[in-house]
Amino acid sequence: DTGVSQDPRHKITKRGQNVTFRCDPISEHNRLYWYRQTLGQGPEFLTYFQNEAQLEKSRLLSDRFSAERPKGSFSTLEIQRTEQGDSAMYLCASSSAGTIYEQYFGPGTRLTVT
């Protein structure tokens, strides 16, 4: 068990470009969460999957954001037409039915929009 992994760790993009981040949860974890964290703030919830079903989305997740979890394994978070306000750390976490109380976080993807 290697923990939650995220790719890339850092992404610099120009305003208006599309970006996609990947999260690989701990194997057999059926719950997967995405959070966003800006400088000096605590993480904010974006969306949550149980297996392949997206069960909850925050109002923070505008139409430019889309998340998928095909086959209930890895997940991708895409941001279209990036804006400078999208600059943040994007964190992924996973949990299992047996350990629902603990969410295991990945190292995050730091996005900088110039």
Binding site for another protein (CB under 8 A): 4, 31, 33, 35, 41-45, 48, 56, 91, 93, 95, 100-108
What is d(CA 19, CA 6) in angstroms, rounded to the nearest whole number?
A: 14
CB nearer to another protein: pick between 14 and 40:
40
Q: How far is the CB of 43 from another protein (least distance, A)?
A: 5
CB nearer to another protein: pick between 82 and 94:
94
CB nearer to another protein: pick between 21 and 48:
48
Phi, psi of 28 (to 5 degrees): 75, 5
Q: How far is the CB of 95 from another protein (least distance, A)?
A: 7
CB nearer to another protein: pick between 41 and 114:
41
Q: How far is the CB of 29 from another protein (least distance, A)?
A: 11
Q: How far is the CB of 62 from another protein (least distance, A)?
A: 18
What is d(CA 62, CA 42) in angstroms, rounded to the nearest whole number?
A: 20
DSSP strand pairing (104-105 vs 5-7): unpaired
Phi, psi of 4 (to 5 degrees): -80, 130
Whether omega before 25 lies within 30 degrees of 0, making that bond cis, reads no
Assess contact for 111 and 15: CB atoms under 8 A: no
